[in-house]
Structures are given as structure tokens and as C-alpha cells.
Amino acid sequence: MSEPGKIGTACRTAAALLALIVLAGCWDRQELNDRALWLATGIDDAGEGNIKVSGQIVIPLNVQAPSSAGSGGKGDPYMVVSQTGTNLGDILQDIQSKLPREVFFGQRRVIFLGEELAKKGLSGILDFTTRLAEASFRTDMYIMKGATANDALQMRGTLEFVSVFSALKKHEQSGGRGETTYLDFLIAAHRDGIVPTLPAAQLFVSDDMKPANYFEITGVAVLDDDLKLAGYLNVDEDRDLLWLLNKLSRIILTVDLEGGNASARFVNLRSSIKPSRNKDGSWHFEITLRGDGSLVENNTGLSVEKKGELEKLERAFEKEAANRMAGTIRKAQETFGLDVFGFGVVVHRRHPREWPALKDRWNEEFRRATFNVRADLNLKRPGLTGKSII
């Protein structure tokens, strides 16, 4: 191998590598000391076509008291900034001018939306949050029922040291959607055959929990096709909705039976939907709910050691689950007339040729549709005792 040839190759390779480095970018170097970690966004309606954006930002000096940080005043580890303006891009520039550090959205974990804003429609605010490259889709999202998003960011006295984490953790712990909320919402908002829903939460001041105010997930907000708030479903209905969407991880069902009552905790929850046509042309859906349960409480006098009596219990739970689900579907049909469950998605998948004709009037079809709910639940773990010992 001749030397010049080798050198030429080496030069060409080096040049290519250099171009690779320069062209690929990735120049967004920013020290942590120069970033303001933005943990949560709150968006409210400010009237006159304006919106108010609030943000919860970490104050690193107050996060812990490491000996290195010196004598930081022990305040809250976060602060809330807010600004009113016409759109998010405009507002963020104003917020940025209030802060000495560059706002960093990469760790935004929660978005709160005020109820007033939700009533006017969310379509105006979504573009910015989705267009921003550094913002994560792993974000929880709430509509604050009867409160503003700013109030939610101001809440204090939660178990978590940064208050918005309590919202996120509560959501995950309740067996719901958690961090995929934002992504699910975006998918539903851009899809035919399902209307998007968002968890709804309220702030309470009560003696149930001592701190000034606390945050509770109180159901789910139903949005119509224009992303305007249509109404709310309560917590139980929210669980049914999530079960049907295959997003629920656990549920506790309680039944009254033989003069007593029994509760069981079900996991491995799944559902299947089978569409068919009725004679009058309306749609019919066969829904099957499945799950494995462990008995939590049994005050019925039935002995779970006997197969027949255990099955009796199971039947009772299945009936309860099916009735609940039917009621929730009926409520969605009658109160909102909006397909929050995504039956349209199932129809689209099963009958792709018929779908284009159905697409635009699907919510009417949903209102006319009939349902049959069947549950198939197994009580796998009866617990330590057989018949109630008392």
C-alpha cells in the first residue's frame, strides 16, 4: 500500500468526521446553574381572548440543604411565575424576561388547565406545547374543576416536597393513566371515533387532611370534537372508562349479597369489544370485561372454600362490574352523546370500508347504539381465612 494513498484516505476520513461533528449540531450546551427547571405548566383563561400561563420552577438552593450550597434560606423548593398574554410563545418571552435563567421545559411533568379555559376550548393552546422540541410527551394533564391552574400550582402542604409531584404520583397510584395522559390526549384529539378525555381534579380545603388545601382526582372531563369541555364523569365512571380503554391497572369492587357485603380487588384488567349491526342498522357492541381478583373483605356468610359459594361470589362481582359499565356507557350516551370509549375506533378497525361514511356522524351512531356488557372475573386469591371468622 502506497503512503500517499493512505494519507489521502486518512485526510478524507478526517474531513468527513469533522463535517459530521459540525453539521449535526447539538450545540445547545447549557449549564444546570443557568437553567430554570420548569416542572409544571398551568394555563388559565384571562378573559378578552387572553390566556394566563403559570409555571412552577425549581429553586435548587432550597431543594435540600447540602453542605456545599451554603446557607440557603429554607423556603419552598419551588416558585410560581405567571404572565398574561395572547398566546404561549408571546407569554414565554415575557416570563423569560422575569427570570435570570433560561427556562428548560424538558422536565415538565404536569399540565394543569383551568376550567374556564377548557370551556372555551383547548385547540388554541396545544400547538405550542406539542411543537416545542425539548418538552416531553411524558406529561400528566388535569382539568381543574372549579379552580384555576394557577391555584393548582400554588397548592402546598402535600406529601411531596414539590407539590406538583403529588398530582403525578396520585394519578399513578390511583391505577389510571399517569404519565401517558398527555400523549393519550393528543392521540385521541387527532383520531376519529373517539373524543378525548382528561382527568379532572379539584382542590379542597377540609379537615380530612390538615394542610391548607389538597388535591384530589374527582373524575374525568369529557371534551367534545372542538376540544371544549362537555362535562364530567365521576371517579367510578372514570374507572369504567379506563377499564374499557384497557388502561386501568386495578379496581376494588364491592357487592351486597345475602344480607352482607364483600369487596375484592381486581388486577390484570382487560376488556374486549365486538361490534355488530342490529336489524335497524344501528350498531351493537358486545363488551367483555376480564380480571383476576383477590378477596379483600367478605361479610356475606358465604364460604370461599366451597366451590359453589365462591362462584356465587364471583357471579355477584361480575354482575356488579357489568351493571356499572352499562350505567357509565348509558350516561355517556344520554348526557354527552360523545363516544369517550372509542367504540368508533373499534368499528373503524373492524369495518374499514364502512368507516368513511360513518366518520362524520359517529356520535349520532353512538347515541343509537346498543350494548351488552358481560364480565368474566376470577377470584383467584380468597385470602387467609375461609368463611368470615366472626
Partner 1 sequence: MTRNARFRKKRKTAGQKAPVILPGPAPDRPLSDDLDENERLIRDAFRHCADLVVRRLVLGDNTEMLIVYLEGMVEGKALDDNVLKPLLFESPQTFRHVGDLIEKKAVAVSSLKTVNGLTEFIDGILAANAGFLVSGVREGLIAGLTGYQTRSVEEPLTEAGIRGPRDGFTESIRINTTMLRRRIRSTRLKFEPVTFGELTRTDCLLAYIEGLAPDSLLREVRRRLGQIRLEGVLESQYIQEWLEDHPLSPFPQVQDTERPDTVAASLLEGKAAVLVDNTPFALIMPYTLWAGLQAREDYYDRFLFADFLRFVRFTFIFISFLLPSLYVALTTYHPKLLPTNLLMSIAAAREAVPFPALIEALLMELVFEALREAGVRMPRAVGSAVNIVGALVIGQSAVQAGIVSAPMVIVVAATGIASFLIPRQALSASVRLIRFLLLFLAGFLGLYGIAIGVIALTIHLVNLQSFGVPYLYPVAPLVPKGLKDLLIRTPSPRLYRLKRAGSGTDGPESRTPGPEGSRQQTTSGKDAGQP
Task: Give helix 88-98 / helix 123-131 axis angle, nearest 10°.
Answer: 60
270: which strand partners? 290
Smallest distance from partner 1 to CB 183, Å: 16
Interface of this chain with partner 1, residues 308 to 327, rule: CB under 8 A: none
Least Cα distance to 177 among 128, 249, 74 occurs for: 249
39 is an interface residue for partner 1 by CB under 8 A: yes
68 is an interface residue for partner 1 by CB under 8 A: yes
32 is an interface residue for partner 1 by CB under 8 A: yes
30 is an interface residue for partner 1 by CB under 8 A: yes
16 is an interface residue for partner 1 by CB under 8 A: no
159 is an interface residue for partner 1 by CB under 8 A: no
Residues 6+ apart with CB under 8 A from 311: none
Residues 201 and 140: beta-carbon distance below 8 Å: no
Query: How many of the chain's residues bind partner 1 (CB under 8 A)?
Result: 36
288: which strand partners? 272, 374
Smallest distance from partner 1 to CB 20, Å: 7
23 is an interface residue for partner 1 by CB under 8 A: no
24 is an interface residue for partner 1 by CB under 8 A: yes
Interface of this chain with partner 1, residues 96 to 115, rule: CB under 8 A: 104, 106-107, 109
- The secondary structure of 258-304 as a DSSP string is TTEEEEEEEEEEEEEEEEEE-TTS-EEEEEEEEEEEEEEEE-S---T
Interface of this chain with partner 1, residues 48 to 67, rule: CB under 8 A: 58, 60-61, 63-64, 66-67
37 is an interface residue for partner 1 by CB under 8 A: yes
* Cα distance between residue 368 and residue 285, in whole Å: 11
Report the 10 Å Cβ neighbour count for 386: 15
The residue ranges that bind partner 1 (CB under 8 A) are: 1, 3, 17, 20-21, 24, 26, 28-33, 35, 37, 39, 58, 60-61, 63-64, 66-70, 72, 77, 104, 106-107, 109, 134, 136, 162, 165
